[in-house]
Each structure stands twice: as structure tokens, then as C-alpha cells.
Amino acid sequence: MTVTIPNTALHLRKGSAADAQACSQISYEAFKHIAEQHGFPPDFPSAEIMQPIMAMLFAYPKIYSVVAEVAGQIVGSNFLWEESTIAGVGPISVAPHIQNASLGRRLMEAVLERA
């Protein structure tokens, strides 16, 4: 099923430490959803395990974060690791209920534009 999000409904912004909890839940659910579709166990046993990882990503000064919101609700995130001349990207995650709406592409474009 394809979901359509009008460009005017999507808001991309720089992430902050306050986004860690919501992004932890989304990341957990997104990766669990994909794992289950392929018959694999989830990478992480719970969203709580993701919390310190996301908190570190948002707090580290050499990691740029971008958060996606639709109707004021966080629905995805992506990260750009800027510590060296070769940047790293990710993890990228999109809430399962809004996947297949080109949101992941838009999050990727945002970090690539920054790079």
C-alpha cells in the first residue's frame, strides 16, 4: 500500500535531544517491522534498548540529525556522521504506518544536501 504525503504536510527539521524517545520508538518499530517481513528476529528486543543509542546520536556534536514531522507528529529520522572527510549516513527510520510515501527518500536527500 502506498501512502501519499503532500510536500506541504511534511516538515523536516534538525533533531534535538528531546526527539530521542520518539525516534527510539519509531526506529525500533521500523526495524522490527522489516525483520518480521523477512522472517528474522528484531535487531533490538525493545524500544527502551534504542533510547541510549538515540540519545547519543542526538547529543554527539559531530552527528547532524534530521527529524521528519507530519501534522506535528514525529514520523522518521536520519543522521549524518560528520567526524571525518568521509561522512556516514544513518540509521534512517520511518514509522511503519507511513512507509512507502517517499519519506525515507526525503530524509536521505536532507542529509545528502548537508553533506
Which domains, ranges and CATH numbers included, belong to the chain? 7-114 (3.40.630.30)
Say how many C-beta atoms besides its own lie within 10 A of residue 93's C-beta: 28
Tell whether the model's pLDDT for residue 2 goes beyond 60.
no
- Average pLDDT of the chain is 92
Q: Mean per-residue pLDDT for 97-114? A: 94
**Separation of alpha carbons 92 and 115, rounded Å:** 15
- Which letter, b or e, does each residue of 50-77 get, where b requires 16 or more Cβ atoms within 10 Å of its Cβ? bbeebbebbeeeebbbbbbbbeeebbbb
pLDDT recorded at residue 9: 86
Tens digits of residue pLDDT in 38-78: 999 998 889 999 999 999 999 999 999 999 999 999 999 99
